[in-house]
Amino acid sequence: MNPSQQSRRRVHRVLAALAAGCALGGAAAVHAGSRDAAAGRRPWRILHVMSHHSPWRWTDGQLRGFQEAMRDVPAEYRVLQMDAKRRSAARDLERRGEEARALIGSWQPDLVYTSDDEAQQYLTRHYAGQDLPFVFSGVNRDPASHGIAGRRNIAGVLEHEHFVESVRLIQAMVPGVRRIAAVFDDSPHWEPVKRRMQEGLAQLPGVGFSAWDTITSFEDYQRRVLDYPERADAIALVGIFNFRDSQGANVPYQQVLRWTAEHSRLPDFAYWVDRVHFGTLAAFTVSEHEQGLAAGRIARAILLEGRSPGSFPMLPTKRGHAAISLARAERLGLRLRSGLLLSAEVIRGFEWDS
């Protein structure tokens, strides 16, 4: 097992313990500090509502970054998972939002930390303009679309993907990539991602989209991937969570990526490193740790310095890094320059083999 796999598994074990008991909307408590005797008050109560689930590097890394920024602040955490990637129906998400609101009412947290878009849509917007402070991270959509922009009690960190850098990374691996097939599921939070990708083409002379597909079924996805070599040089795997099987259930994204790695002849890229562990060739990643760290710094200033959440601008984090699947590169017959490998996080095997 390589060091990145060991580190990732340690994180998953720690955060799985943190979130134990909170799958399907339950909550778990973790004490991150003792009573502050000097201040004579209980630890701060922080409720973390994740749009998705744990263990998952993207979700867990945000919480880890948040807690790093808050590491010397006495705090008690509770975590609620909305599980939106695996159960994306509106009725399920509305129920999770109701559970979160009930927990806020019963536990009375001092601050709520929400990650990713679904938590904003089904929870945060209900508290816009009230007294309880909210801090978010991992939000793709314009906060105004959630009704949370410019509200005095809401602050947060936006997630803007590294499209231009990801295309250049693929071109460094496979010279001549010009035609890109872009793949999305039907989640509405991909709309601003699509817009930013289209705007990014201005920085990539000669590059264009040969397919721009919103796909709802796994069967349709499989058919299109097998057809893409006729009209594309590479695939942008963006939205891959809401592909339904014949019974209408969401196919796990890990299964989608494994099928792709085993059947697609084209190089592909995404914006998140967990995809590379499951077979995507490359990504210039959004840093989940930086997202959480930035949110934690805001929360710290709110709780310890008395800053108003509304005084913080809602901005994206900038830091990212290249990640490459060496196993997928070998499967595609690519010979990669040593300089490229030395400048990237290299994932040597497929997650399903480990």
Instruction: Write down the number of H helices and E strands in the chain.
Output: 12, 14
CA-CA distance, 143 to 326, in Å (whole number)?
37
Task: Write out the two tokens for 288.
Answer: 């989940």
Q: What's the Cα-to-Cα distance from 240 to each of 140, 203, 215, 287, rounded to whole Å?
A: 16, 26, 9, 19
Q: Hey, what domains does the chain have and what are their CATH numbers?
A: 3-159+288-316 (3.40.50.2300), 163-285+320-353 (3.40.50.2300)
pLDDT tens by residue, 23-39? 334 444 444 443 343 35
Q: Quote the pTM value.
A: 0.75
Residue 329 predicted with pLDDT over 50: yes
276 phi, psi to nearest 5 deg: -70, -35
Largest CA distance in the chain: 69
**H helical segments located in the chain:** 3-18, 57-69, 90-107, 117-122, 163-173, 191-200, 218-227, 253-263, 273-277, 288-305, 326-331, 338-342
Residue whose structure tokens are 């499967």 = 331
Residue 231 predicted with pLDDT over 90: yes
pLDDT tens by residue, 194-225? 999 999 999 999 999 999 999 999 999 999 99
Helix, strand, coil share of the chain (percent; to 5): 45, 20, 35
pLDDT band at 1 (very low <50, low <70, confident <90, very high): very low
Residue whose structure tokens are 């790695």 = 261
213 phi, psi to nearest 5 deg: -110, 125
Residue 16 predicted with pLDDT over 70: no
